[in-house]
């Protein structure tokens, strides 16, 4: 699908400060964990949905100060559900400690898994950030709903960033908790084998035509014109794909060469993530027969025009 009329996405990098509980809407409060980094922006956003009997979406990393900030903000209220979008270590590990403190059930994504089987010789070191200890009391799948006195959350399966990734629609506010699938501050990292570019693009398309007017992401501030932003993200990925194909046509064979050519002015800390992102595109392009490589696509493979 081409999107020749689409604009590039305009990213909003206004910082969202960690530590304090901020009311964002009648039904949503947010506390940002103190785990800021080039990958997590100013930290993971934990959202409190409802009041009195509430859900906490993405309890975040297992940082006692963050758990204490959540408990302090929720003094006098009851947490009925701890809801997890995906098993990255900046989103899910706080679930167990919050459960111990509140007795709430843990619901949401299925346990950690890769988007595909590991290739021969491939290790899961790419997956160092996966939380393999996460065990929900109940898994949520497409359309599954949980609810409280004034809120409902409906699961939307959105694999790509991670195979088990879920977004949660909040129909009472025409809002979507988009976790790491769509974020206003930056493009999401797609890192095989946990992530899959092909799945990601399908999950972007799945958002088209929905009626939410705001997305609340796992990092950074809201996406205010989500349909336009999703179209722009789609366009951005297809442009990157075209750049990669152009480098392959020009004779680049290795992922490092392509990263150097197309990521100009990249923060050196993000070089590894950029390599994984190019790898994710090449895996998708090989599957679609648009580039060739020997055997399974890999991070160290050589790629040629089809």
Residues that bind Zn ion (CB under 5 A): 88, 180
Instruction: State the Cα torsion 191-181-160-186 to the nearest 10°.
Output: -40
Length of the chain: 306
Cβ proximity to Zn ion: between 81 and 88 the closer is 88
Residue (of 49, 53, 5) closest to 27 by Cα position? 49
Burial class (CB in 10 A: 0-12, 13-18, 19+), 151: buried
Neighbour-count burial for 284-296, b at 16+ CB within 10 Å, e otherwise: bbbeeebbebeee
Query: Which residue has the CB atom at the shortest distance from Zn ion?
Result: 88
84 three-state secondary structure: strand
297 three-state secondary structure: coil
Cβ proximity to Zn ion: between 80 and 87 the closer is 87
Give the shortest CB-29-to-Zn ion separation in angstroms.
Answer: 22
Give the shortest CB-87-to-Zn ion separation in angstroms.
Answer: 8
Which residues fall within 8 angstroms of residue 156, CB to CB, at 6 or more apart?
142, 166, 167, 168, 169, 176, 206
Cβ proximity to Zn ion: between 88 and 112 the closer is 88
Cβ proximity to Zn ion: between 161 and 237 the closer is 161
Cβ proximity to Zn ion: between 73 and 162 the closer is 162
Residue (of 39, 42, 73) closest to 56 by Cα position? 73
Give the shortest CB-236-to-Zn ion separation in angstroms.
Answer: 18
Give the shortest CB-163-to-Zn ion separation in angstroms.
Answer: 12
Cβ proximity to Zn ion: between 130 and 301 the closer is 130
Cβ proximity to Zn ion: between 51 and 187 the closer is 187
Give the shortest CB-91-to-Zn ion separation in angstroms.
Answer: 6
Whole-number Cα distances in Å, 268 to 38, 218, 260, 265, 300: 10, 23, 11, 9, 19
Give the shortest CB-162-to-Zn ion separation in angstroms.
Answer: 6
Q: What is the DSSP letter of 113?
A: -
Give the shortest CB-258-to-Zn ion separation in angstroms.
Answer: 24
Q: What is the DSSP letter of 14?
A: -
């Amino acid at each position: 699908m081409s999107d020749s009329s689409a604009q590039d996405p305009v990213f909003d990098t206004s910082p969202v400060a960690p530590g304090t509980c901020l009311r964002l809407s009648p039904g949503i409060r947010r506390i940002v964990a103190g785990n800021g980094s080039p990958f997590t922006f100013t930290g993971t956003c934990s959202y409190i949905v409802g009041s009195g009997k509430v859900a906490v979406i993405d309890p975040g990393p297992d940082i006692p100060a963050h758990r204490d900030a959540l408990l302090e903000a929720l003094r006098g209220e009851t947490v009925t559900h701890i809801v997890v979008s995906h098993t990255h270590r900046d989103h899910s590990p706080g679930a167990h400690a919050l459960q111990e403190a509140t007795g709430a059930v843990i619901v949401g994504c299925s346990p950690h898994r890769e988007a595909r089987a590991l290739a021969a010789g491939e290790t899961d070191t790419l997956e160092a950030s996966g939380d393999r200890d996460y065990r929900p009391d109940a898994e949520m799948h497409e359309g599954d709903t949980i609810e409280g006195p004034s809120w409902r959350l409906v699961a939307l399966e959105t694999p790509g960033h991670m195979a088990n990734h879920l977004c949660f629609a909040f129909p009472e506010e025409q809002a979507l908790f988009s976790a790491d699938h769509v974020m206003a501050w930056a493009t999401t990292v797609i890192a095989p084998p946990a992530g899959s570019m092909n799945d990601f693009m399908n999950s972007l398309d799945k958002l088209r035509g929905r009626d939410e007017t705001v997305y609340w992401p796992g990092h950074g501030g809201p996406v205010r014109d989500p349909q336009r932003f999703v179209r722009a993200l789609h366009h951005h990925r297809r442009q990157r794909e075209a750049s990669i194909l152009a480098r392959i046509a020009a004779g680049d064979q290795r992922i490092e060469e392509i990263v150097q050519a197309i990521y100009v002015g990249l923060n050196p800390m993000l070089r590894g993530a950029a390599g994984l992102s190019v790898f994710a595109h090449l895996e998708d392009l090989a599957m679609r027969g648009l580039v060739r490589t020997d055997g399974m696509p890999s991070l160290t493979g050589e790629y040629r025009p089809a």
